[in-house]
Amino acid sequence: MLESVPVNLWSTDAHLNITFSQGAGLHLIGTSASEQVGMTLYEVLKTRDPGFTPLAAHLRALQGELVRYETDWRGRSFETRVEPVRAADGKITGTVGIAIDVTDRKSLYEALQTQNVYFATLFESAPEAIAILDERDHIIRINGQFTTMFGYTEFDAIGRSINDLIVPKEMVEEGEKLTARAVAGENLRAEALRRHKDGHTLWVAIAATPFGVADQPGRVYAMYHDISARKHAEDELKALLLVDQLTGLHNRRAFITLSEQQLKQATRMERDVLMIFIDVDQLKNINDTHGHLAGDRALIDTARVLRESCREADLIARLGGDEFVALMTVDSDQTAELVCERIKSRVVKHNREIDRGYELSLSLGAKRSKAEGTMLADLLAQADTALYEQKRGRGRPHALSR
């Protein structure tokens, strides 16, 4: 049996003459039992230095000690045990030793240690925030970028639920569903709001990968990339698509989208809606006489007048050119008349307080209708017709019609 396992077994007498040697480990170091038996330990070790670990171990064994040590011998690594051999009367008559070849195991251990160093270095130097979670969503480990991104140190985070730590309270249920899917074995990719320690929120891209360690329950490797700048840029792009850049009001695209929503809301509330069409009078003449910058200023002033005349909940937009529109819910004819009169009064006040070299003048056309069953296109066309009639001097200015 000893010839089939990487083990060496030997014995010596009290003078360290080798009396027995056997084991497959002998072949690994390039020797055999027949070569060693009859030699002294000094000859095998090629030294008489009592400080040399293998020789020192045998000398201590002759003094009655059981000695364990590790040594490298002829390119191999061994875990060794040497102890005294006693006669029936207890007198020490020699030593016996056993050495187990652990070279392969040690190489594997060193490789694993190297991998651990590589992993730790990559983990800590990664540009992404990383958290390792257990099967209950509790944090086992975080890297430095996690602290940078979310403000929590290892002391703050280890043992805490990731969902309690960085998920906004109103989104905890969503966070728990995501981590449950990852623990169940799903590779996840998601974008979501997460919370910093100081309370502010940030947009992150989440990549969660499940993994296992031996027989331990499922773990999750979660990475977080800050995409707040990208989300902000997307919001700005959406705003550019929905906002008139000159006046800051909604543009035609936004008005069509939002007015459909407002009509639905008014229908649910069983309210009427009022559409007011507004034109800037003589805008071409202002451009031709005072320049296009003055024309732009007239449009900006019109937007300010409309904002000051309408409620915050009312929808105001510039449709293009000199055309503006306002959509609001109303309770009575008086409410609609009040809005039109307020706009007219604001224009008068503007002209009195600000000298632009020209007077701002607006034409208004209004159409009131029940929200239920009303088509936006029809309401716009009817308000436009009312505006046209006012400009021609027919009908009452700002008159409402069913």
- Inside any domain, residue 401: no
Spatial distance between the Cα atoms of 94 and 114, rounded to a whole number of angstroms: 42
* 87 and 173 co-located in one domain: no
- Inside any domain, residue 113: no
| CATH of residue 319 | 3.30.70.270
Per the structure, the count of domains in the chain is: 3
* 250 and 299 co-located in one domain: yes
- Token reading at 225: 């990339």
Spatial distance between the Cα atoms of 230 and 324, rounded to a whole number of angstroms: 33
Give the closest residue to 313 by CA, choosing from 252, 271, 375.
Answer: 271
Q: Is the pLDDT of residue 27 over 60?
A: no
* 72 and 100 co-located in one domain: yes
As a whole-number percent, the residues of the chain with pLDDT over 90 amount to: 45
Spatial distance between the Cα atoms of 286 and 254, rounded to a whole number of angstroms: 28
The beta-strand segments (E) located in 25-128 are: 67-73, 76-86, 92-101
Q: Is the pLDDT of residue 237 over 80?
A: no
* 279 and 370 co-located in one domain: yes
DSSP 150-171: H---HHHHTTSBHHHHHS-GGG
pLDDT average, residue stretch 335-343: 82
CA max distance for the chain: 137
* 175 and 136 co-located in one domain: yes
* 382 and 251 co-located in one domain: yes
Q: Is the pLDDT of residue 101 over 70?
A: yes
* 260 and 348 co-located in one domain: yes
DSSP 3-state assignment of 135? coil
> Could you tell me which residues come within 8 angstroms of residue 228 by beta carbon, excluding any fewer than 6 positions away?
202, 203, 204
* 86 and 141 co-located in one domain: no
**Tens digits of residue pLDDT in 28-79:** 445 555 677 888 889 888 889 999 988 999 999 999 999 998 888 777 788 8
* 379 and 283 co-located in one domain: yes
* 27 and 133 co-located in one domain: no
Spatial distance between the Cα atoms of 190 and 180, rounded to a whole number of angstroms: 14
pTM exceeds 0.75, yes or no: no
pLDDT average, residue stretch 85-93: 90
Q: In the structure, what pLDDT confidence band is assigned to residue 140 with cuts at 50, 70 and 90?
A: very high
- Inside any domain, residue 71: yes
What is the model's pLDDT at position 329?
Answer: 86
* 263 and 386 co-located in one domain: yes
Spatial distance between the Cα atoms of 202 and 205, rounded to a whole number of angstroms: 10
What is the model's pLDDT at position 113?
Answer: 77
What is the model's pLDDT at position 286?
Answer: 93
Out of 3-12, 174-183, 207-216, give the one with best mean pLDDT.
Answer: 174-183
**Tens digits of residue pLDDT in 346-386:** 999 999 999 989 999 999 988 888 888 888 888 888 888 88
Report residue 317: phi and psi, to 5°. -150, 155
What is the model's pLDDT at position 213?
Answer: 67
Burial state string for 275-285 with b = 16 or more CB within 10 A and e = fewer than 16:
bbbbbbebbee
Spatial distance between the Cα atoms of 62 and 40, rounded to a whole number of angstroms: 15
What is the model's pLDDT at position 359?
Answer: 92
Q: In the structure, what pLDDT confidence band is assigned to residue 122 with cuts at 50, 70 and 90?
A: confident
pLDDT average, residue stretch 288-294: 92
Report residue 215: phi and psi, to 5°. -100, 10
Domain that holds residue 327: 243-391
Spatial distance between the Cα atoms of 389 and 399, rounded to a whole number of angstroms: 10
Q: Is the pLDDT of residue 2 over 50?
A: no
* 247 and 386 co-located in one domain: yes
